[in-house]
């Protein structure tokens, strides 16, 4: 991820959550851990590559954990960390704002 230019806290948040999908991925993980394909089903418009990149970025930021289970085939599960759970009020505000936008 790029460094912030202004040092502004909003810019720092957007550096981590920016883009089309990251906050949406986090919103689905608020319900609990999910496997990769479950996230693909929840967000059908996202490509496999983009989901992989955004999950890696969220993991690098310390918001998501990736757990690999020794099964055949390998099972991978993603979950929010305690820091990632701090996104819950952000998701709630975005949902409220989105409902307001749709109703205007």
pLDDT per position as a tens digit, 68-94: 999 998 899 999 999 999 999 999 999
Angstrom distance (rounded) from CA 31 to CA 29: 5
Whether omega before 4 lies within 30 degrees of 0, making that bond cis, reads: no
CB 78 within 8 A of CB 33: yes
pTM above 0.85, yes or no: yes
The verdict on domain 20-103 having CATH code 1.10.1240.10 is: no
| Domain chopping of the chain, boundaries | 20-103
- Tell me: pLDDT of 49 over 60: yes
């Amino acid at each position: 991820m790029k460094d912030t230019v202004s040092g502004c806290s909003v810019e720092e948040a957007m550096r981590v959550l920016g883009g089309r999908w990251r906050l949406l991925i986090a919103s689905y993980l608020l319900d609990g851990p999910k496997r990769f394909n479950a996230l693909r089903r929840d967000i059908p418009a996202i490509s496999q590559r983009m989901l992989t990149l955004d999950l890696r970025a969220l993991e690098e930021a310390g918001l998501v954990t990736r757990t690999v289970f020794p099964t055949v085939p390998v099972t991978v599960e993603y979950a929010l960390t305690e820091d990632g759970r701090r996104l819950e009020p952000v998701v709630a505000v975005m949902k409220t704002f989105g409902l307001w936008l749709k109703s205007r």
